[in-house]
Amino acid sequence: MTHSMAEAVTRKILSGVLLGTLCAAALLSCSEEPTPENSLVAVGPLSGFATRETLLTATSTWYQRIYSPMNSVVNLTGRAGSFQAYTLLQFFPSSFPARDTINVQSAQLRLRAVTWTGSPSASFGFTVYRIARSWSSNTITWDSVQAGFYDSQPRGAFSVSTAPDTFSVTIDLDTAMVREWFQTSTSTTTTKYGIIFIPDGTTTGCARGMYAFGTGDTADWSPQLTVIATNAAGTTRDTSIFSSGQDTFVGTDEFTPADPTVFPLHGGVNYRSGVRFDLTGIPKGSILNKAELTLRQDPTASRISPFTADTLISPHFLFADTSLTSNFSSEDRTMFGRQLPGTPTVFAFDVRKLAQSWLRGPNYGALLRLTSDDEFSSAELITFYGASADSARRPALRIIYSKPVQ
Amino acid sequence: MGQVRIILLLVLALTCVGGERLLAGSGGSIYSAFGLGDLRYAVGTRAAGMGYAGIGVPGTSYLNALAPGTWGTIDRVRFEASVSMEGFSSTDGSRSRYLARADFAGFLFSLPISRPDRIVFVGGIIPYSAFNYDVYIPDNYTGESDTLDYLVHHVGTGGISRALGGISYAPIPTLDLGFSFNVLFGSLNDEQSQIPAAAGYYGGVAYSSTRGHGFTISLGGLYSGLGEITPALKDFTVGFTLTTRGRLKSSLERNYKYTLAAVSTERDTVAAQTSHIAIPFSWGIGLAYKPSERTTLALDYAAQPWAQAEINGASPPSLRNSQRVGVGVEFAQSKELYASFLARLAYRLGAYYNATYVQTSGTPINEYGVTAGLSLPFSGDSRLNVHGEYARRGTTDNGLVADEIFRLSISLNISTTWFQTYGEE
């Protein structure tokens, strides 16, 4: 093939391709996007959805006490009804300089009380003891605080007959104990494990919450230890302030409601509950368009904190049937239950995600608990009527579901 | 040869893609939701330009996958790859829209094995049907204590492809017979989304996919000896094609997504149900008349009793027996390789009527259209074929939809002289 012939052939090919491309481009470029607005009437075999509605009541409810590590923003101390709480506090030993011969003149601990449970007019007081064992705020719970956990010798005390919602707490600590925190080495008698606040005998109607390390609106509201000390010769006098450490509280409560049909959600201990519904009446594969769980509160047994602007309940998907301690989904704010406007004793939850999983199976039900903001920093107690209550009060699940028509 | 290799590579790449879409442009006609979708009448770009008439037209330079009897006159190794573009301007009487898309339309090759016996092998892959719709249907639920308004969004994708391999043979000089073994495979997918209108309600998606595979056998013949009966018929050829009933093993899979989010772990799958798809036998006859070397007239009739079809073991109520008739003409001034470019152009015109296999709301859905084609020669006997078409389908009566259809297909037909031997002079 000569060069001119090749050129001619190429031109012909390109002409053909160009023609085809132009036609194709014209055909395709005018295409619209399919939208609901330009969609035509539907004909033919395309099926839709059959939508139904059902109201289920709980087949079972149950609850469990769980000693959880708190380690939150507020530490509780005191007693309110059957609830009691101890605060544990340790200034980091590494923050104290090694001064084996130091002479501690005074050691003053300042705290900021910011919440209360029970009655604010009830007397409130606690005694400070030295902790005798190593502990961690991430793991310690009520059942860890056994005999021998702290010394029996008081190392300070605080009491007030009545107090406002917030106030500062100042405690003079035992200087001998604080001196130990400056020692180079420790022994069975020289420890640096910190202190525990045990409510005194007059404290029966109030538990107070005090800011933890690193919390509060200002740094001054964090636990603060002011130590005035001299050297052995008494020629040098220093004032040191310490404000970093670990802290938590441990709590317990014996929940014995007058009405046995109720179940509790309790912070500061904790009590968590489970609720289960039977969804076998809903066809498998259905899309749940809405699933609203409603719980009816028993106000007589509840103890809602006035410091919680919006009382929220967190539902969780249970992965197993065994306990309410673990094996549940993480907290999902979109599912939080809250009081219905105008009907404060009714809590409503959007549990579509949970119910959809129950429908698919397995269905171990939902775990209900206070949100993490409340469960680990308050002694809030909310009780709801359970599956054995009369039918109008039982937990209810209203579901709208759609099943593809086949 | 280098050019052929490049095109082969391109075609192979396209073949690997199979029936997947080359270009987006979601949605076509709602009528593709019926049965196995929009059926492709795979007679090739040449016959498409002639009103889809080609069963009785000898192949020579063209590959007609539907009619094995036409293969005997193919005298060269040929490769043909096609793309098609389809635009649907649809209306239901009050609203209208235009949707278009492009598809890979197949690849075929031929391999002459014996010129004297006209033994030719033909193989390739072509689309058999296409699911292609995108519609929104408003619906609502009114309960005792709540109401739910929502849209149902249906999207159909997929289709059936046909891989074929066959041979033609001429037992006598005036008769070509051929057959092809056809493997049918593919999936028909429907995505059905429920989209609530109000916040606070959740939607979801139900997917169903019918996968199928099976085979059919096509037989064909072309008889050019009508002149022996009477000289007046010497310029006529007659052809036929017959495809056996196909029984495809099918599995229907359903799965669900319980949110409308693009990515979600909230899913469920229902165990696949195995069944079958029964595709009825089909047959067609064609007549060609060649009054001169330049002109070819063709007439085809084809039918298929789709009322006997079964999909997933059930007989779809909206399918009926289909039939079509097509007529066309081709004018090619010269087939000489050394004639001028203009002289070697081939022009085609045609028209067809297709009583489709769809009947809904008691209304049969028919299609009729006019076609035109052009064949551009380049480099020896190779050709670029273009086919354009305007058709109408359906009606707005009885709450149905009428389509205006614009089709354009382009095929590249490459020929080469591989394996050919020439006797010593």
pLDDT, tens only, A207-265? 999 999 988 777 778 999 999 999 888 889 999 999 999 999 999 998 888 888 999 99
Question: Under CATH, to which class is B2-416 assigned?
Answer: mainly beta
Over residues B141-161, the mean pLDDT reads: 92
Assign A17 a pLDDT band (cuts: 50, 70, 90). Answer: low
Q: Residue B21 has what pLDDT?
A: 42
Residue A287, phi then psi, degrees to nearest 5: -90, 125
The residue that leads in pLDDT, B378 or B281, is B281
Q: Nearest 5°: CA angle at A122, between A383 and A155? A: 105
**Per-residue pLDDT at A132 exceeds 70:** yes
H-run or E-run covering A398: strand A396-404
DSSP string, A293-312: EEEEB-TTT-B--TT-SS-E
Question: Is A396 at the interface with chain B, CB within 8 A?
Answer: no
CA angle A230, A231, A234 (to 5 degrees): 70
Q: What is the mean pLDDT of residues B156-185?
A: 95
A357-388 confidence digits (pLDDT tens): 999 889 999 999 999 888 998 889 999 999 99
Residue B25 has pLDDT above 50, yes or no: no
C-beta separation of B83 from B105 below 8 A: yes
Q: Has residue A173 got a pLDDT over 90? A: yes
> Which of B84, B94, B97 should we substitute to test contact with A (largest number of A Cβ atoms within 10 Å)?
B97
B210, B251 in Cβ contact below 8 A?
yes
Task: Inform me whether the pLDDT recorded for B417 exceeds 90.
Answer: no
Asked if pLDDT for residue A26 goes beyond 80, the answer is no
Task: Residue B410: list chain A partners with CB under 8 A.
Answer: 20, 24
Separation CA A156–CA A225 (nearest Å): 13
Q: Point out the least confidently predicted range of A43-57, A196-210, B335-349, B396-410.
A: B335-349
Number of Cβ within 10 Å of residue A312's Cβ equals 17
Best of B32, B202, B318 to mutate (most A CBs within 10 Å, chain A): B202
Average pLDDT over residues A28-57: 85
Mean pLDDT, chain A, whole residue set: 89
| pLDDT band with cut points at 50, 70 and 90 for residue B263 | confident
A18 touches chain B (CB under 8 A): no
Which of the given ranges, A49-53, A317-321, B344-348, has the highest pLDDT on average? Answer: A49-53
CA R_g for chain B: 23
A242 alpha-carbon distance from chain centroid = 29
Q: Regarding predicted confidence, which is higher, B219 or B20?
A: B219
- Largest pairwise CA distance in chain A: 114
- The whole-number pLDDT of residue B18 equals 40
Write down the pLDDT at residue B249: 96
Q: Is A294 on the interface with B (CB under 8 A)?
A: no
Range 59-98 of A in CB contact (< 8 A) with B: none
What pLDDT, on a 0 to 100 scale, did the predictor assign at position A9? 59
The pLDDT of residue A110 is 96
Write the pLDDT tens digit of every residue in B43-88: 888 999 999 999 999 877 889 999 999 999 898 899 999 999 999 9
Q: Decide: helix, strand or coil at residue A405.
A: coil
**Residue B1: is its pLDDT beyond 50?**
no
Shortest distance between the Cα of B197 and any Cα of chain A, in A, equals 11
Of A30, A48, A289, the CB nearest to B98: A30
pLDDT at B17: 42
Confidence at residue B13, expressed as pLDDT on a 0 to 100 scale: 46
Note the pLDDT of residue B419. Answer: 62
**Interchain proximity B202–A13, CB inside 8 Å:** no
pLDDT at position B55, please?
A: 95
Domain boundaries, chain B: 2-416
Integer-rounded Cα radius of gyration of chain A: 32
Point out the residue among A36, A45, A47 whose CB comes nearest to the CB of B316: A45
Q: What percent of chain B stands above pLDDT 70?
A: 92
Per-residue model confidence (pLDDT) at position B236:
96
